[in-house]
Structure 1
Amino acid sequence: MTASFVVGQATLWCWLAASAAAQGPTPEQMRELASVQLPDDPAAVLAVVGKSPILAGEVLPKVDAKIREVTAKTGQTIPEPQLKIARVNLVRGELARAIQFKMMRESFVLDQVGTEAADKREEAQQRLAAKARQYFFEEQLPKLKEQFGTEDMAELEAKLGEQGSSLKAQRREFIDQMLGQLYVSSKLDRDPNVPIADIVRFYNQHRDEYERSAQARWEQLTVRFDRFDNRDAALEAIRAMGTEAYYGGSMQAVAREKSQEPFAADGGVHDWTPQGSLRSSVLDKQIFSLPLNKMSPIIEDDEGLHIVRVLERRDAGVTPLADVQDDIKKKLQYKIVAEKQEQLIKELSQRVPVWSIFPKDTPGALPLPGTTGMLR
């Protein structure tokens, strides 16, 4: 998730509070969050998924590291009541994510062992975990060393600690995620078939999204009035640039060396631009009326003098289905996969029992016995 670090306490704490949610909490939700008392003991259980506990020590350090990172970037201090709400909301998001991966891991193991006896299930789970650990050391550990720029294990452990993690935590999360992803991959088709009829229907229903204004691509040479003592000096400069481009055959080469507009470094090439979007109405009018592939006369507007060559133009209209068919297919595939994944998560809640300090955040979860003051 991205965040715009705008100056102001409210912006910072609201970002923290909303980091685990689609939007910030409502006033009622804020009062609810403020009433939550998170445990201080790292060994405190926050959730149990099947037979696997999730401890406070697995979640809280990452949350606190994220808060430190954000406050360090902004240099702001958050009032304690607001910080508490933000911290609780971040814990909720991190815990829900951990629960989901453990649910998928448990389901993957169940798929592998079927109706085997408990000891056989435990044996199979240990065997799968051993393979995942091996993969962690062979594949993931080298990536972590590269990410943090060190081959020294002690230094790597220290750097992970700054982010509220550790090698042990990284390994545990990697195993959960790997086995969980194997379960999802076995249940979901990531490339579902989308009938052409569905693509056409989507195109027709969203036809207004595919309407386009006239567009053009062009090359441009520019001199700015504010770079010269007077208009005559600017006019002499643009004439010299035009002559060099005309006889040298390359506006782009001249633009890179001498032009004074933002696209000069790219050879003065302006990619497809909609009509009416230019700040200079004079240039806009000329670009959409000049003959193609011919250098224009000198064009003057309030900022300077220009020579353009229009490379291509597209008339206003509706983008043909053939041009957007692949994009529509991807959108529909994403929707299909998202819906099936949501259904899969609901099915997991019926298959794997979950107890949580925040039961309302996980479908089918029950309140963790012995907890009070949590969101129900």
Structure 2
Amino acid sequence: MRYAQIYLLMIAFISTVGCETTPKVDNPVLGPPPPRLESALKQQKLEHTQMASRSKERKSILEGDFQESDNPFESPVITVASSSDTSTASAVDESVEELKDSTVVAMVNGTPLFVSDIIGVYDFQLKQAEQRMPPEEYQKLRRALVKRDLKSHIERQLLIHEMKTTLKKEQLAMLQEHLDKAFDEERIPELQKAVGASSPQELEEKLNQQGRSLYYEKELFMKQQSALQFMAVKAKSKNDFSREEVLARYKSNLDEYAYPAKARWQRIRISYAKHGGKDKAVGVLDEVIHKLQAGENFGTLAEKYSDGPRAEKKGQWGWTGRGSLADSEVEAALFELPVGQTSQVFETDDSFQIVKVIDRKEAGHTPFADVQAQLEQSMVNDARMKATRETLDQLFKKAIIESMFEYETEDEKVTN
């Protein structure tokens, strides 16, 4: 995949310039940003509002919906109802101020983030919502989306800023060239398949119907891939664990790999009600017992005589664990009878029952060999996420961030 080639290219870039970061600025903002835009931000707002009117410049900052399974920044779908519980409080009166597309939500190291940068990706869905929602509720939805996604966009902007200050101009140009090719050769075919288009022209038409465009998709792709590729290089983590390390993790979490005893079985059930009472049901039971003693097949007899819910399947039940059956005597038989042996007759409140164990697995643990590869991958993923978080924390510590909204710190997320 060209994405992997881009990753190797990024490694080469970093190796030529090292991993030095930009010098710390005076009075960096540590932790959450102030709840309102500071005076410096207000002074820049008019200038940046004019910038916001140029859609290409605005949308080049937008984060898109490009799907990568290892994307550490993906966010769930939000609704107005859920936002009241999960979003942090705004310092602005939500019922008064309308969030316009050109509103500056935050400044990240001098770069503005507009409302359109945060929720532009939802344009099509928001237009539909605006038609069916009261104006007040629609504005709440826009605000909830901005609040929810703000921190992710700040994180991405920090990565892009770090990349631009780490790589040389010619290296950034080369990366741009490789991402252009990756978009043309891989992303466009993916988009065509997703929307059912047979050509880039048809793709453009279908995207336009959704309020999107090929230009827009490319900007999203470039932004997303730049951040992801740079993070993959910047957040160095351990990608190889020895067998001993993986085995130690397995042993320390052995309970996670435990499984209970379970059995597969058959049943012949003769209900009293179906045969006109318990006394008459005894006659049918005697007939079944004699045929079992004569060696007739249990499943065949179950299909003929049983009135249980699985009679048509020869009375067979799937894997059953302890605590699954209402009748404790029948359940005990499933874990005590030798496999292949028919039980005694069990007399319940409404029926006679005979069971036979087809197969049984005793309680135990999934063997280490069966989970070694999966466990090692989870360890790699954990290390990668830890390195990602540490890298972002370092970028936040040296950044100057001014924001209209508060956003959760990592400690607050854990608490919530």
Give the shorter-chain TM-score range. Answer: 0.5 to 0.7
Q: Superposition pairs for residues 26-45 of structure 1, below 5 Å?
A: 29=89, 34=94, 37-40=97-100, 42-45=101-104
Question: Which residue in 1 is equivalent to 2:146?
Answer: 91
Matched to 1:349, the amino acid is F
1:156 and 2:206 matched: yes
Q: How many residues align?
A: 321
CA contact (8 A) 2:266 2:299 kept: no
Q: Which protein shows a greater Rg?
A: 2
Q: Which residue of 2 aligns with 1:260?
A: 309
The CA deviation at 1:352 is: 6.1
Structure 1 gap segments, 5+ residues each: 4-10, 114-120, 364-376
Q: Secondary structure at the match of 1:312?
A: strand
State the one-letter code of the partner of 1:270: G
2:180 aligned partner: 133
Aligned residue number for residue 101 of structure 1 = 156
For the structure 1 residues 171 and 229, does the alpha-carbon distance in structure 2 shift closer, same or farther, using more than 3 Å as the test?
farther
CA contact (8 A) 2:80 2:141 kept: yes
1:24 and 2:83 aligned = no
Distance 1:137 1:52, change over 3 A: farther
Q: Evaluate the alpha carbon distance shift between residue 57 and residue 285 of structure 1 in structure 2; reply closer, same or farther with a 3 A threshold.
A: same
Structural mapping, 1:331-346, within 5 Å: 331-346=378-393
Contact 1:92-1:361 within 8 A present in 2 as well: no
Deviation, structure 1 residue 170: 2.0
CA distance in 2, matches of 1:226, 1:13: 56
Cross-structure match for 1:147: 194
For 1:14, the equivalent position in structure 2 comes to: 81
CA distance in 2, matches of 1:141, 1:226: 68
Amino acid at match of 1:24: T
The whole-number CA distance in structure 2 between the counterparts of 1:227 and 1:70 is 57
Asked whether the equivalents of residues 99 and 139 of structure 2 are also in contact (C-alpha less than 8 Å), the reply is no
1:139 deviates by 0.8
The normalised TM-score by structure 2 is: 0.57
Q: Is the 8 A contact 1:104 1:183 kept in 2?
A: yes
The whole-number CA distance in structure 2 between the counterparts of 1:58 and 1:193 is: 40
Deviation per CA, 1:134-175, whole angstroms, max 9, x where unpaired? 2112211221222222332344213432xxx44333211211
Aligned equivalent of 2:321: 274
State the partner residue of 2:262: 216
2:230 equivalent to 1:171: no
Q: Deviations over 1:149-203 (max 9, x none)?
A: 2332344213432xxx443332112111112121122133362537846864784
Equivalent runs, 1:320-335 vs 2, <5 Å? 329-335=376-382
Q: Distance in 1 between matches of 2:347 and 2:191?
A: 56
| CA–CA separation in structure 2 for the residues paired with 1:262 and 1:44 | 68
Does the 8 Å contact 1:293/1:310 carry over to 2?
A: yes
The letter for the 1-side match of 2:143 is V
Alignment of 1:218-367 (within 5 A): 218-220=264-266, 260-261=309-310, 268=316, 270-271=318-319, 273-294=320-341, 296=343, 307-315=355-363, 329-349=376-396, 354-358=401-405, 360=407
Decide whether the 8 Å contact of 2:99 with 2:142 is kept in 1.
no
**Which shifted more, 305-314 or 188-197?**
188-197
Query: Distance between the aligned counterparts of 1:34 and 1:150, measured in 2?
Result: 42
Q: Report Cα offsets for 1:218-276 as digits up to 9, x if no partner.
A: 1445669699676859x69x969x98xx877989xx89xx98349969x94623x4311
Residues 1:56 and 2:115 are matched in the alignment: yes
Amino acid at match of 1:92: K
Quote the residue 1:118 is aligned against: none
Q: 1:109, 1:124 within 8 Å by CA — same for their partners in 2? A: no
Looking at structure 2, the residues matched to 268 and 95 of structure 1 have their Cα atoms a distance apart, in angstroms, of: 55
Question: For residues 93 and 226 of structure 1, what CA distance do their matches in structure 2 show?
Answer: 61
1:13 maps to amino acid: V
Moved more, 214-223 or 175-184: 214-223
**Closer/same/farther in 2, CA of residues 33 and 177 from structure 1, 3 Å limit:** farther
* Structure 1 CA distance for aligned equivalents of residues 388 and 344 of structure 2: 59
CA contact (8 A) 2:343 2:355 kept: yes
Look up the match of 2:19. Answer: none
Which residue of structure 1 aligns with residue 57 of structure 2? none
The letter for the 2-side match of 1:14 is A
Unaligned runs of 5+ in 2: 1-74, 411-416
For residue 31 of structure 1, report the CA deviation from its aligned partner: 7.8
CA distance in 1 between partners of 2:393 and 2:219 (Å)? 24
SS, match of residue 34 in structure 1: coil
Give the conservation status (yes or no) of the 8 Å contact 2:87–2:148: no
Verify the 8 A CA contact 2:264 2:357 in the aligned structure 1.
yes
Find the residue that maps to 1:260 and give its secondary structure. Answer: coil
TM-score in terms of structure 1 length? 0.62
1-structure distance, mates of 2:311, 2:256: 30
- Asked if the contact 1:148–1:159 (Cα under 8 Å) also holds between the matched residues in 2, the reply is no
